[in-house]
Structure 1
Amino acid sequence: MPDSIDAAARILAAVRAIPRGQVAGYGEVARRAGLPGRARLAARVLAQNTDRTLPWHRVLRADGRIAFPEGSAGFREQCQRLRAEGVAVVGGRVRRQPGAHSDLDTAVWGPDAG
């Protein structure tokens, strides 16, 4: 198991690799960072992040919902950032096509990403 600094760096790199206008779940981010099953670690790393250039807004819960409480400043900012990238946010949720993460994996990581 990688040490915590290495794991955090890998999670942040996976978040940076999410293309503009796309989203990923915390579990997907962890898996892409080589840390399958560590969605909570991905969430914790993002919560502690201070890099203002990180596209944190592209990371959602597995069901497509924004993790911040509805109406909070974080919720409003994430909705605004996603919509500015052309992502449809309805009721605090991004509806994704079934298998959308596989298409994103292929686009970002190559055809053997699955």
Structure 2
Amino acid sequence: MKTKILQEDLIYEILSAVEEIPEGKVATYGQIARLTGREKNARLVGKVLSMAQYYGSYPCHRVVNHAGRLAPGWAEQRFLLEAEGVAVKDNNSVDLKKYQWNC
């Protein structure tokens, strides 16, 4: 039982960091990992975000990979980012120099 609580604490810690990303900005999986003290766990962040809908409503669409690429197979991400004023290039990536959250 204690392990499950720790896992849920970790999930909410990651989702809380994602919730802080301002509208019109993006963060990388690695950036969220660093913010939560788990510098080398960017893939863990991705795994948590893939299950985020079970924990509430979070702006997971604002998280991209280290090169600014959107999540594969999630067409809605592009629409959500563009609705916030984030330009998405033809190769399904965003300009991190312009849109990355400076936290």
Q: Aligning the two structures, in what range does the TM-score lie when normalised by the shorter sequence?
A: 0.7 to 0.9
- TM-score (ref. length: structure 2): 0.84
What TM-score do you get using the length of structure 1 for normalisation?
0.76
Q: Residue 104 of structure 1 corresponds to which residue in structure 2? A: 102
Percentage of matched positions with identical amino acids: 39
Q: Who is 1:83 aligned against?
A: 82
Post-superposition CA distance 1:26-67 (Å, at most 9, x none): 010111122111101000000111145210100001100012
Paired residue for 2:67? 63
Aligned residues: 97
Paired letter, 2:97: Q
1:31 corresponds to 2:29: no
Where in structure 2 are there 5+ consecutive unaligned residues?
1-5
Contact 2:71–2:77 (CA under 8 A) maintained in structure 1: no
Which segments of 5 or more consecutive residues in structure 1 lack a partner in the other structure? 106-114
Following TM superposition, the consecutive aligned residue runs of length 4 or more in structure 1 with deviations greater than 4 angstroms are: none
Determine the structure 2 residue equivalent to 1:47. 50
Q: Per the alignment, in what secondary structure is the counterpart of residue 14 of structure 2?
A: helix
RMSD over aligned Cα, in angstroms? 2.0
Q: Is the 8 A contact 1:11 1:42 kept in 2?
A: yes
